[in-house]
Structure 1
Amino acid sequence: MNFKAICTDIDGTLLNSERDLSPRLKAVIQLLPQDFPLILASSRMPDAMRHLLFDLGKPSEPIIAYNGGFVLDGKGNVLDSVCIPLELVSKILDMTRKTDIHVSLYQGENWYEPKPDYWAKREIQNTKVEPTWMSGEEVLDLWEKDNLGAHKVMVMGDSNEISWLFGELHFEHAKDLHLYRSKDTYIEIAPRKISKATALKLVLDHLYDFGMEEVIAFGDNYNDIDLIQRVGWGVAVANARPEVKAVAKEITLHHKEDGVAATLERIRDLKFEI
């Protein structure tokens, strides 16, 4: 079949062991036709994705941020925006107040951190983005004035405390929230009704004249399962969760071994046909 677009996750999939774009990946992307869409779909905020697109020579591509909760076209226009309600964000903050759990809040183009501790510094290093320093209570007050919610809440901390919070939120709000346990020490929290797959379909419907069946997608984690299942050719990297591998049509190399680049090189050799 002919593939007319690439959609890929970033962390654990596209980036190498140094959390960067490898020379091999850059080289194969540069060999793609100039108008061949490369759509990044991530739990990251937009600014943590834009510098990667710029480095790949694709600065004007659509962006699927926050696992599909905030979708932008190639010109920065918002195609979709789905938030966690303010009262639920407030409840998460209340639940973590007597713990050592670190809470990061995201809304649109903004990332809010309460203090420059280990977790905040780690995310700054990983994403190459600087947050706005503001307490959770101050953020809630700001959002209440503008009737806003969170596109993403990320909590980080001791694995036992994270396990406790995951269990509590799942028990009380499984119908409202997606809870992604990306690591033992992380939970990425997003609105239940969004996904990378629904966001990709929205992008294709608005901007292109082809459908999901003509897209090749790459992923590694639970939040990639729907995407991998619904495109024409879903690819799991070797380090992917077993559940992702189970629904993929292909398992490529580990992300540290340039798995995305390896598959794209093969497709290039076949003139984008499988």
Structure 2
Amino acid sequence: MKFKILCSDLDGTLLSNKNNVSDFTISEIQRIKNAIKIILVSARMPQSMTYLQRNLGIEDQPIICYNGALILDGKKELASTVMTIDHLDQIYDLSESLGIKLGLYHKDEWYVEDNTERVRKEIYHTQSTPIFRDTTVSITDWKNRHIGAHKIMLMGNKTATDMAFVQLEKQLGQELHIYRSNETLIELSPKSISKLSAIQILLTAGETLEDVIAFGDNYNDMEMLKHVGYGVAVGNAREELKQIAKSVTLQNTEDGVAYFIKQHIII
């Protein structure tokens, strides 16, 4: 197989454990990186991706953060799309009524209220540290600075997030992407962006989506895998993703991405 660009999701896809890539993955990326652009595509914030770039030896490549809401090339910002403060006010009111906590993200800023078990897991998984303060303080601060959220994470129990998901779809489904990360987490991002739209922004002269191979595992990877030249789902991916992928490789814990690269990408 011949491609000009390889794009990969991180959590549940390229990462063989919760917060890092394996030596096998590093060696395969090293093998092909001079012939193929390697672009990391994730819902993560920048600092939670750049350490992985360093480990893989691809710091010279751009990264797609927050499901496409922020695109960076080193320190240079190539594109940025945020949710409005009005959206944030609506989401805060809903979360308060259901006892759900919010994680607010803007560039490399991450704000939460409490050092809960869920937050501690996120710190470990993403190798980043939030600022702890009341959400109302964060909202007021952002209003004063005239900025919005690249991503909002809702954290609650299953009953509360079930109810929140239905309400969010009803109130904001036409304006925001609403992803169910798991039974207790919901992620929100601007509707006008996606991993696919971000990849399209990064295409240069002589490159098309047909030149792209992409790897993923979750709902927010579906559009990307469906429309690039070759979409590959890892073995642990959602069944809906496997149905639209052109190939299914091993699970992320079995280095599925690296295994596929070794078997199919010859330099």
Q: TM-score, normalised by structure 2?
A: 0.96
Q: CA deviation at 1:18?
A: 4.3
Q: How many residues align?
A: 267
C-alpha deviations, 1:174-226, integer Å up to 9, x for none?
10111100101110111111100000010114xx6412111110001110011
Range that drifts further, 133-142 or 242-251 = 133-142
- On the 8 A contact 2:98/2:164 being kept in 1, the answer is no
1:180-199 equivalent positions in 2, closer than 5 A: 180-199=179-198
* Percent identity between the two aligned chains: 37
> Which residue number in structure 2 is paired with residue 250 of structure 1?
247
Partner AA of 1:229 in structure 2: K
C-alpha deviations, 1:129-152, integer Å up to 9, x for none?
011222211111111112111110
Partner AA of 1:246 in structure 2: Q
1:1-274 equivalent positions in 2, closer than 5 A: 2-34=2-34, 36-73=36-73, 75-205=74-204, 209-268=206-265, 270-271=266-267
Q: Can you give the 5+ residue segments of structure 1 that lack an aligned partner in the other structure?
A: none
SS at match of 2:12: coil
Q: CA deviation at 1:17?
A: 3.3
Q: Can you give the 5+ residue segments of structure 2 that lack an aligned partner in the other structure?
A: none
Task: Tell me which stretches of 4 or more aligned residues in structure 1 moved more than 3 Å.
Answer: none
Partner AA of 2:41 in structure 1: A
Partner AA of 2:190 in structure 1: P
- On the 8 A contact 2:3/2:213 being kept in 1, the answer is yes
Q: CA deviation at 1:35?
A: 5.4
SS at match of 1:218: strand
Q: 1:60 to 1:132 in 2, by over 3 A?
A: farther
SS at match of 1:12: helix
Q: CA deviation at 1:33?
A: 4.0
Separation in 2, partners of 1:173, 1:98: 16
Separation in 2, partners of 1:118, 1:177: 27
- On the 8 A contact 1:237/1:253 being kept in 2, the answer is yes
- On the 8 A contact 2:3/2:36 being kept in 1, the answer is no
Separation in 1, partners of 2:60, 2:132: 29
Give the root-mean-square deviation of aligned CA atoms. Answer: 1.4
Q: CA deviation at 1:9?
A: 0.3
Partner AA of 1:26 in structure 2: I
Q: TM-score, normalised by structure 1?
A: 0.93
